[in-house]
Amino acid sequence: MEWTRAARYRAYDQYSALELMKLQAQATASPAQLHYHIRPQSGLLNDPNGFSYFNGEWTVFYQSFPFGAAHGLKSWVRLSSPDLVHWTNHGVAVLPDSDFDSHGAYSGSAHEVDGKLFLMYTGNHRDADWTRTPYQLGAWLDQDGRVTKLAQPLIDQPETVTEHFRDPQLFFHGDRWYALLGAQRATDQRGEMLLYSAPAVTGPWTAVGPIKLPLADLGYMVECPNLISVDGVPTFVFCPQGLPQAAASYQNIYPNMYLQGKDFDYQAATLEGAGELTNLDEGFDVYASQTFNAPDGTAYLISWVGLPDMAYPTDEQNWANCLSQVKELHQVDGQLVQQPVAAMTSLRQEEHRFAGEVETITPDGGQQLELAVTIAANQQGTLYLAASVDRKQSVQLRFDTAAGELVIDRATSGPQPTPDHGTTRTLKLPAKADLKLRLFLDHSLAEVFVNDGRQVATFRYFTSQENTALAFDRPTTASGSWWQLADQNQ
């Protein structure tokens, strides 16, 4: 179907139950469908929202358009979990049903306040002439799952920014609440992050000012900004759209970057002692990552696996995208590392060990598995994931543990997302060193943790589910284990 403006903005109650049931069946039966990640029941999923700890459970929402693989009228769908791995889907939580969010309940965040979860998000409103006004809105989620929206916006669009003003990250520091927003400056249409603060989540919210970073240009818009503490290190995670390649090299259509510093001055909104702007994920498909500090201080991260302005092969099955697994963030040797959460091991089925000169790890492991492997130093070769019997179809991980390089190549894995932003990604590794990988496959999603999470590469691939081998291209000195992984219901 053609996604006309009218079709994309039709109210949810103007679709029939029968249409939705057909879309859900199509998504569920899709061979590419995820079995242990958060995925749309139908239609399109994008940004994670409201990632938080509330009422003794982990909570996350996602941006949802349930009626097709299109960026139509967005709502928030809520999930909860005891362990960050097993999620229960509670359905639509924030509907675009007020004047302020009439054209979409866009992204935002959440924080527990006095036994309720406060949601802060962007209402997307368009006038009859299609002029957009973004409102920063508030809502309360109670312990019974009921959402009550505040009657008035928390923050109106300031004159200093264009209509691109969104994605509030809410957090508490010292004795005040803060909200970090992505924006486009009105004067020069360049991207920036704006900090607001308030004595209470419901306001009054006042501008602290733009975040001051030692970066000349953040592109034309910053989406999904986050400021967290990673083991005490202030860390910005954000999506600077149109970032100049001179600022940091990236290959995806839009980057998801992080920047750490020595200290963050809340009064001056200044990151002091900033390091280098760095790609958060070395794969093809991570965007709009959301992070927060849990009550015990630990930083967790979850990402949209998908990108704006991209088409994916499942679009023709009327569904698209998923969320990444949750990662725990730490500083190790002065560097940010991303690790699977502890409960990911609860999905493991029978362990299969291997060691020595290994060629075929398994001919028929399927595409719902975890692999933990150490490839000895000073070797070249290819590790095939989701490989056909003749190895001609696969995701290739080409490693050189002498020179220190890992190339991820999905060119031979099947249909590609469009537009094409390259079919390989290259990771620099320590030279002449063992390479340690922890790798997850979920039918059309790969997540590769490199050297204990010093680098992570997350990406979709779309190959036949009959391609079930996990193998090297030649005898390779390696050891490790693999496990098939259990489903997790939503």
- C-alpha torsion sign, points 32, 38, 41, 44: negative
> How many residues sit close enough to its own copies to count as binding (CB under 8 A)?
36
Query: Residue 178 is encoded by which pair of tokens?
Result: 């803060």
Q: Is 29 in the site for its own copies (CB under 8 A)?
A: yes
Q: Is 41 in the site for its own copies (CB under 8 A)?
A: yes
* C-alpha to C-alpha distance for 210 and 229, rounded to whole angstroms: 19
Query: Residue 14 is encoded by which pair of tokens?
Result: 């103007």
Q: Is 128 in the site for its own copies (CB under 8 A)?
A: no
- Report DSSP letters for 189-221, one per residue: --EEEEEEEESSTTS--EEEEEPB-S-S---SE
Q: Which residue among 47, 167, 285, 442 is the active-site one?
A: 47
Is-catalytic flag, 364?
no
DSSP three-state, residue 175: coil
Q: Is 74 in the site for its own copies (CB under 8 A)?
A: no
Contact region for its own copies (CB under 8 A) — 282-290, 417-425, 453-461, 480-488?
480-488
Q: Which residues are bridge partners to 198 per DSSP? A: 177
* C-alpha to C-alpha distance for 123 and 102, rounded to whole angstroms: 7
- CB of residue 437 vs its own copies: minimum separation in angstroms? 24
Of the candidates 249, 349, 378, 418, which one interacts with its own copies according to CB under 8 A?
A: 349
Of the candidates 67, 254, 284, 384, which one interacts with its own copies according to CB under 8 A?
A: 67
Q: Is 88 in the site for its own copies (CB under 8 A)?
A: yes
Taking alpha carbons only, the member of 22, 13, 45 closest to residue 445 is 45
Query: Residue 156 is encoded by which pair of tokens?
Result: 């109106």
* C-alpha to C-alpha distance for 138 and 161, rounded to whole angstroms: 21
b/e string for 35-56 if b means 16 or more Cβ within 10 A? bbbbbbbbbbbbbbbbbbbbbe
Query: Residue 229 is encoded by which pair of tokens?
Result: 């503490």
Peptide bond into 419 cis (omega under 30): yes
- CB of residue 301 vs its own copies: minimum separation in angstroms? 24
Q: Which residues are bridge partners to 476 per DSSP? A: 358
Q: Longest C-alpha distance within the chain, in Å?
A: 68
Q: Is 26 in the site for its own copies (CB under 8 A)?
A: yes
Residue type, 453: G
- CB of residue 348 vs its own copies: minimum separation in angstroms? 8
Contact, 197 vs 206, CB < 8 A? Answer: yes
User: Would you say 145 or 415 has its CB closer to its own copies?
Assistant: 145
- CB of residue 302 vs its own copies: minimum separation in angstroms? 20
User: Would you say 150 or 485 has its CB closer to its own copies?
Assistant: 485
Provide the mask over 230-269, with x wherever binding to its own copies is found by CB under 8 A and - wherever it is not: ----------------------------------------
Contact, 166 vs 107, CB < 8 A? Answer: yes
DSSP three-state, residue 356: strand
- CB of residue 25 vs its own copies: minimum separation in angstroms? 2
User: Would you say 19 or 272 has its CB closer to its own copies?
Assistant: 19
Q: Is 37 in the site for its own copies (CB under 8 A)?
A: no
Q: Is 20 in the site for its own copies (CB under 8 A)?
A: yes
Of the candidates 8, 71, 90, 436, which one interacts with its own copies according to CB under 8 A?
A: 90
Residues 6+ apart with CB under 8 A from 345: none
Contact region for its own copies (CB under 8 A) — 120-128, 345-353, 416-424, 474-482?
345-353
Q: Is 144 in the site for its own copies (CB under 8 A)?
A: no
* C-alpha to C-alpha distance for 217 and 214, rounded to whole angstroms: 9
Residues 6+ apart with CB under 8 A from 481: 351, 352, 353, 354, 371, 372
Q: Is 464 in the site for its own copies (CB under 8 A)?
A: no
- CB of residue 78 vs its own copies: minimum separation in angstroms? 8
Q: Is 378 in the site for its own copies (CB under 8 A)?
A: no
Contact region for its own copies (CB under 8 A) — 24-32, 110-118, 123-131, 372-380?
24-32
Of the candidates 4, 14, 187, 267, which one interacts with its own copies according to CB under 8 A?
A: 14
Query: Residue 375 is encoded by which pair of tokens?
Result: 């490839």
Of the candidates 24, 162, 293, 339, which one interacts with its own copies according to CB under 8 A?
A: 24
Q: Is 86 in the site for its own copies (CB under 8 A)?
A: yes
Contact region for its own copies (CB under 8 A) — 52-60, 90-98, 167-175, 402-410?
90-98
Q: Is 290 in the site for its own copies (CB under 8 A)?
A: no
DSSP three-state, residue 445: strand
* Catalytic sites, residue numbers: 47
Instruction: Return residues touching its own copies (CB under 8 A).
Output: 12-22, 24-26, 28-29, 35, 41, 66-67, 86, 88-92, 95, 145, 346-347, 349, 486-490
